[in-house]
Structure 1
Amino acid sequence: MNLNFAGLRALVTGAGKGIGRDTVKSLHASGAKVVAVSRTSADLVSLAKECPGIESVCVDLGDWEATEQKLGGVGPVDLLVNNAAVALPQPFLEVTKEIFDRSFQVNLRAVFQVSQIVARGMIERGVPGSIVNVSSMVAHVTYPFLSTYCSTKGAMTMLTKAMAFELGPHKIRVNSVNPTVVLTAMGRRVSEDPEFARKLKERHPLKKFAEVEDVVNSILFLLSDCSASTSGSGIMVDAGYLAS
């Protein structure tokens, strides 16, 4: 997808690995100035070597105070990708307070906080903007041992709509992408049982999981003016899973 983001500044959370990392690389290649946010310094160092000129912010988004300190003065942002997330498998009856809190702090609360920071800046500058929340197909279907993760993504669906409704008058669009299993490090962990992964893949009409590139292309589309009349929506990148 050939899109031009020259003159725009983008912030991507969870930028160290997987979908976030490739999103940074694609935005950088498309002319955007990119702020890459990750809690892992080594990932940001290697990413900066691949994408000279990007800005790096190392922070654990599960820490509200640290996030406010590191991103409160981030400056003008035109495009935001809320990608940071944790998937911490536990059977429902064994979910601990620590797992529950960590899941909601990173997967949902940080989306509130970072989006507030960015959207306030857009409104103060009087400029339009686009926000993309990286969700999952498990916002709509369940997945074994991921009750907390599924819950955070289900809540993100309504948050995306609420943000779109309230920010729309300021010309700020908010959408989500909802992929099936993507074979990143996180995706491999949740599908590490080969027989289960085979059966799950067979339930997809296209008989495959999603590639990182598939998700990144959908993110870029929603960030761009190609989706200028799209807000409060979600793009399913699920190989047809929800149709089956």
Structure 2
Amino acid sequence: MQFSGKSVIITGAGKGIGRATAELLAERGADIVALSRTRSDLDSLRARVGGRSIVADLATPGGARQAMAEAGTCDMLVNCAGTNVLESVLDMTEAGYETVMGINLRTALICAQEFARARVTAGGSGVIVNVTSIAGHRGFPDHLCYAASKAGLEGATRVMARELGAHGIRVVALAPTVTMTELAAEAWSDPAKSAPMMARHPAGRFAQAEDVARAIALLLSDDAGMVTGSALAVDGGFLSV
């Protein structure tokens, strides 16, 4: 799974899974185009992996489209930008809904659209990996909008795969379990909440960002050339048992 001569756009590349993915793919030869809202994160990433970095406000449609235009035509896209607002069904706010659905779903769709348009103009081929979550498959308390956004992105992945396959573009989703990023730590730092969840993982642990990055690399590679339209659970067996 080497990526020499390949270019990849990674949204949310400043932290967590996006950063780990950028570092891994760069080690394997890819040219990285990193998108994030925090310049200091991008500066430190660029010092490690080189490539290009784009400070982007992906929370707005205009910001997402501008960032993708600046990124230009690349071979692969990893939609990794994401956020969460912990709200229950009874406590959901319009602001929380707009924040989570806007970044997790709308931004991913816009970035995929702009990537695909550029690839079609260039003659086709390419790969999109949409990072979703097992929260789209199980009902976790206080994850109402987050679950909706991730389940929605998996549904959109199937449509993208169907429509873009004729252009040689593969589209896959990857659904991690709890991955110990800064975002996850906020939601799962309470042992009373995390212990029962941990016990349901046959692997006996939550994921690390590097675990997810390696799975993303697999889906991007030619070794997964017949994988499109599906969702790969990177969950330590959580959904299976």
- TM-score range (shorter-chain normalised) is over 0.9
CA distance in 2, matches of 1:44, 1:111: 20
The one-letter amino acid of 1:21's match is R
Q: Is the 8 A contact 2:9 2:71 kept in 1?
A: no
CA apart distance, 1:69? 2.3
CA distance in 2, matches of 1:121, 1:159: 19
Deviations 1:116-164 (A, max 9, x none): 1111111111131010000001111111101000000111110110000
CA distance in 2, matches of 1:65, 1:127: 25
Deviations 1:35-70 (A, max 9, x none): 000011110011111112x10011121111122223
Q: Return closer, same or farther for 1:13/1:201 CA change in 2, 3 Å cut-off.
A: same
Q: Is the 8 A contact 2:129 2:171 kept in 1?
A: yes
Choose which of 8, 11, 14 in structure 2 pairs with 1:10: 8
Deviations 1:205-228 (A, max 9, x none): 222111222111110011010000
Look up the match of 2:43.
Answer: 45
Look up the match of 1:201.
Answer: 198
Look up the match of 1:102.
Answer: 99
CA distance in 2, matches of 1:206, 1:28: 28
CA apart distance, 1:22? 0.8
Choose which of 213, 218, 226 in structure 2 pairs with 1:216: 213
Q: What stretches of structure 1 move > 4 A for 4+ residues in a row?
A: none
Determine helix, strand or coil for the equivalent of 2:207: coil
**Can you give the 5+ residue segments of structure 1 that lack an aligned partner in the other structure?**
none
Look up the match of 1:25.
Answer: 23
Q: What is the aligned length?
A: 241
The one-letter amino acid of 1:160's match is T
1:137 aligns with 2:128: no
Determine helix, strand or coil for the equivalent of 2:9: strand
Determine helix, strand or coil for the equivalent of 1:243: coil
CA distance in 2, matches of 1:239, 1:104: 27
Matched-pair identity in %:
37
**Residues 1-244 of structure 1: matches in 2 within 5 Å?**
3-52=1-50, 54-244=51-241
CA distance in 1, matches of 2:211, 2:230: 17
The one-letter amino acid of 1:30's match is R
Q: Is the 8 A contact 2:68 2:115 kept in 1?
A: no
CA distance in 1, matches of 2:118, 2:136: 29
**Can you give the 5+ residue segments of structure 2 that lack an aligned partner in the other structure?**
none
